[in-house]
Structure 1
Amino acid sequence: MPSSVESPRRAGAAGPVRVPWIAMYHSVGDRSDDPYRITVTPDRLERQLRWLRGRGLRGVSVRELLAARARGEGHGLVGLTFDDGYADFLTGAAEVLARWECTATLFALPGRLGGDNAWDPLGPRKPLLTADGIRQAARSGVEIGSHGLTHVDLTGADDLTLKAETVESRALLEALTGAPVTGFCYPYGAVDARAADAVRDAGYDYACAIDPGALTGPYALPRVYVGQHDTGVRLLLKYRLHRLRRRPVDEPR
């Protein structure tokens, strides 16, 4: 029997398929003070997307990527995700994505709209998108997903907090955008079986982590960190190593 965070194999499928390649970004803008290495400049993002497109790859939202793979049409697609909902997504990333005909998933924090990254003890305070900013991103074709309500590590949360971070955050974002919110991203990338079960029970279709360890399936999707120093050579190595290191898992239905 699969664990509670795995998905049964699709009827008629020949066997398990490889885990999708999903890139993890955060902020796109000024990186003069960047102790956590969460920022890339717009120019670096431009070069990275040019590299992808030059190799026949196109960046898309996780929702689009998983839907295409379920149809057997995911060849040449990679996932692009942006965590935390920084305001510089609109000023630093949106235009670059559009220029290279890419889309992305933006994981937002509806409990901190218009606030900042107060959870980071070091480094500059980075402003987060307002409600209008989230709506603007959604209108441009970006998938809006939940990053929880306030950026809490779910693996140490009590039951009430766990429900608020998963259920309430989804309801708030759906009310804000007027569209279904089907994706979740674990704050800090931290996930265990209890957190994954809570996300599934809250009605999401998938959830992204960083390195979910032994957990597999649509509620424990691993991602690849992409930073300022990732040139074409480094991206190629990360792309190939991901395919080698990640064992095949059943595709979500």
Structure 2
Amino acid sequence: MPPEAAPWVLMYHSVGDCRDDPYLVTVSPRRLAAQLDWLRRCGLTGVGVAELLRARAEGRGRGLVGLTFDDGYADFLTTAVPLLLRYGHRATVFVLPGRLGGTNAWDADGPRKPLLTAEEIRQVRSAGMEVGSHGLVHTDLTSLDDVRLAAEASDSRALLAELTGHAPEGFCYPYGAVDARAVRAVRSAGYTYACGVAPGALAGSFALARTYVGDRDSAARLRAKRILHAFPAGRGPLERLRSLHA
């Protein structure tokens, strides 16, 4: 039998005004609604990554797709959550407990956007969404010494456990930067999975690849990305298309 395809996990960031978006990480509410509606019409239900992995392990993952939102923008609660609930989906939001109520100060260009506060993160969890860690302050883990690396993984998990009453299962590597050291630190911190961005040398539940979704992703483009996801790695041009953002 052919190997089972890797889980299909979509990667979002902010939901709002796309006019000043130099990093192409913002999806308009109208576009997100259309994308979520397309998933529903295709018989797909968006869920958090922890739920997706459990379902697949139990043989009931058919029809499920992982939905993730990186950075923990406040617009996840105000805009994304109502749309997710309207179309019958759930998602994982990866937050930064070292920047609660702060802004995306790590971005050199573009507008400053507010991040979720502690109370807003609790509201997100109460709405049925999964809360995962994005590290403490959005730092490339591969650039850190051992002490800071351990703190980004372990301390962020401890803070979120204290904040929500539930230790997060998932971690998301800032910038998608991951190496063997980062994987070891995240695994040692007690997470059960971790998300990267594009397929790379590392694979498995601690280096899950995801499909970028942007504001230009119409139903036709999402359909194409879904088809490309089904191809095994190493298919030349088709494989390279997976990482296209636009």
TM-score for the superposition, normalised by structure 1: 0.90
> Are positions 1:104 and 2:96 aligned together?
no
- 2:141 and 2:199 map into 1 onto residues whose CA distance is 13
Q: What SS class does the counterpart of residue 117 from structure 1 fall into? A: coil
The correspondence for 2:190, drawn from 185, 196, 203, is: 203
Structure 1 unaligned runs (5+)? 1-13, 248-253
> Are positions 1:54 and 2:54 aligned together?
no
Partners of 2:158 and 2:167 within 8 A in 1? no
Deviations 1:14-61 (A, max 9, x none): 884221000000001112211101100111000001111101111100
- 1:224 and 1:186 map into 2 onto residues whose CA distance is 15
Structure 2 unaligned runs (5+)? 235-246
- Following TM superposition, the consecutive aligned residue runs of length 4 or more in structure 1 with deviations greater than 4 angstroms are none
- 1:102 and 1:246 map into 2 onto residues whose CA distance is 28
Aligned-residue CA RMSD in angstroms?
1.2
> Are positions 1:226 and 2:213 aligned together?
yes
Whichever residue aligns with residue 71 of structure 2, its letter is D
Partners of 1:190 and 1:212 within 8 A in 2? no
> Are positions 1:144 and 2:131 aligned together?
yes
Aligned length: 234
Partners of 1:19 and 1:246 within 8 A in 2? no
Deviations 1:94-118 (A, max 9, x none): 1000001100000000000000000
Q: Percent identity?
A: 62
Deviation at 1:92, TM superposition (A): 1.3
Deviation at 1:91, TM superposition (A): 1.4
The 1:143–1:246 alpha-carbon spacing in structure 2 relative to 1, beyond 3 Å, is farther
Q: Which has the higher contact order (CA 8 A, sep 6+)?
A: 1
Whichever residue aligns with residue 182 of structure 1, its letter is E
> Are positions 1:191 and 2:156 aligned together?
no
TM-score for the superposition, normalised by structure 2: 0.93
